Structure 1
Amino acid sequence: MLTLKTITDNTQAVIIKLAKKHFDAKDIITEVVKVDEKRKSIQILLDRNFYKLKKMSKSVGQLIIKRGQEEEVKLIRKQVVHLKEDNKKLESEMKKAENKITELLYQIPNLPSDQVPVGKYSKDNVIEKREGQIPFLSSNALPHWELAKKYDLIDFELGVKITGSGFPVYKQKGAQLQRALINFFLDNARKADYIEIQPPYMINARSAYGTGQLPDKEGQMYHYEMDELYLIPTAEVPLTNIYRNIILDEKDLPIKNTAYSACFRREAGSYGKDVRGLNRLHQFDKVEIVRIDTPDHSYESLQEMVSYVQTLIGKLELPWRLLRLCGGDMSFTSALTFDFEVYSAAQKRWLEVSSVSNFESYQANRLKCRYRGKDKKIHLCHTLNGSALALPRIVAALIENNQTSVGIKIPKALTPYTQFDFIP
């Protein structure tokens, strides 16, 4: 979340910047400032009362030493009792004000970076780069959901029977391809100096608040009420929460972690051709990369992460493009996001396979993820994450783009992991 100081010191600038995300912040920012002024006035009263109590305690001590001042001592002690009662009420009001400020701050998105393009819809995103040849397929080429059935790779209907739509069952070479991609992505991440973590797939509410899934995306998460736990929408959440309430040393930054996990998203409101087959699932596999960094270095880290994801897609021989997201298409928590899309030749459309984002100090402030700098002072970290990569649409593009009249080719970089180079 934004720091209170950011809002109170730059109120109008914050409102203007959030408008770039198409978020009307005027009312909520005004309320934050108003509640903060109340909090400050309460603090002034408390400070005065504590000062009075200190003076009274000193006076009582002096009067007791003098003797014969019992009545005056009694009077002061009565005043002390009243002041302490007043302080309890003031402290209660102070707590309510602080809780209200936190509640309001949770509802305010992150400020977009100056690099974020103006715009509201995906058509307003800026294409930064594009590489790879779009394959030419025959007129009878099949989309991946038909190829999956023809080659017995994925059973969507069986998934509906077992769980529901959006929970596919991978079979035979389809299951092997999944495992191969996971290992391929993890091995590449380790070679790029990311430390592999195996995180839990369920998180508590504090973790979800820490990375910004709550309260913004509560309706998109699977929630187990009995134990107040949530299934993770991405490994970003447990990986970043490792550093909740931690003070790191600047010399240890950046921290680079990676993890494979299953991901769970309700995807409420999704329908139509965009959800066919693997295009949009409730459960899917993904390898995530996360960095914890200093503010001075985080945008260099972001570029390194973007370059790294680019190499992965290149090794898979898929045509791709890189988008810089406009304000209206960005997530609640991001300051700057780059999306990678690969071209699906049978569907004749671009499919998003990775988002790489810098959250600056927004998550770190929620998490109290800090570092001790060379100046010996405590500062908020910057957090970053990226998909490296999400499997479903990668698989969709791989099998569609590499289909032939006699089978499906496997990219050369992947064959050591699949142990086959062709699905006949």
Structure 2
Amino acid sequence: MRSQVVPDRLVVLTFDDGNRSDATVVAPLLERYGFGATFFITEGMNFLENKTSRLTWPEVRALHEAGFEIGNHTAAHGPADAQPTDEFRRDIEHIEQRCAEHGIPHPTSFCYPGYRHRAEAAGVLADMGYRFARRGVAPEYPHALGRGSAYDPATDHPLLIPTTAASGPRWRLENFIEALDQARDGKIAVFTFHGVPDLDHPWVHTDPGLFEECMGHLHTHGYRVIAMRDLAEYVHDETASADPYAGIQARMTPAPVDLTTEGATSPVGIDAKQPRFGWKIRSARRGERQTAYRVCVSGSRSRAADDDPDVWDSGKVMSRESAHVPYGGPALRSDQTYYWSARTWDADDTPSDLSDVATFDMGLLDSADWVARWIGTDARISAPLLRKEFQIDGEMKRARAYVSGLGYAEITV
């Protein structure tokens, strides 16, 4: 059982490979916001030789003294799914010894080098007393996608914690926010970063400006940001299944994923009165083929998750279509958030799991919905700056600004 209920907006930050930017860029920003984090250290990746882009052990100790967790990333950064068990154990013990030499506590969190893992490796970690171990986004998602599943302590083994999102050079703030949306309903968003910037491996590089934006977003929106060791507050040893891969296999059960409305993920302000839905099929089986689908739209997240729609139920539709599937229910309301889910059937007429719940927000559909007055000035100013102050009485549940302008405009709150 869990020690505490997992709150919404719980985030774990992890940083791999001992990049110098951990000390020069990352740690000062995390300290400013009071965030926790885990830094996974390896002596592979030219750690001992390259002191231009890698930390020194005294700098690793300084991260510990600043309150951050130091995790084990093995001596040689070798593939845990291919290393002989004895060699894997020795690589782990080497980092433990190096931590002890520098006055750093015995690590209890581990990161699989190169995201590669197997059941035997998880067993070694359990025998050596490790509480938590982070993997990548696979096998549920391709590594190149950089997007994975939130950690669900109810189903995921604590020694095979999935990466919710791994930063890279193509990342944008929108990718970060999309991953953060999974930090609810008992699930925890776990992020993987490498160098900020990464001078040696551009394929995992994170732009420092983007990183600052991401951390600012966490702070502004009230997320609790912790190190991996702090998961002990929420995860009890009894949650660990005898089969460490049971949670992964359950997530690999066929189901619609990557749900879109009008071609976008969780769009806001759409004006299509009959929006079109789309999804992809996740399956561990090659050649998986959809033969039918069912789409349900609800007015609340709970009803959508319970497969109890109160707005529209398409019923089982015999079709292979998984894109541009039109909404066919009653008229949708302006300025309303809707929640939807999908289920598919395969060639054997076996139904999939219900998808995760997706959302879409309607814009203002009719001219009568626009009751505001134009904001402007008679002065001939090329780029006027206009300001309005107002006070909100009572507790605010939701606020949204609908903006229409001639030419270019920006709005800030």
Give the TM-score range, shorter chain: under 0.3
Q: TM-score, normalised by structure 2?
A: 0.22
Q: TM-score, normalised by structure 1?
A: 0.21
> Which structure's residues are more often helix, by fraction?
1
Greater RCO, CA 8 A, separation 6+:
1
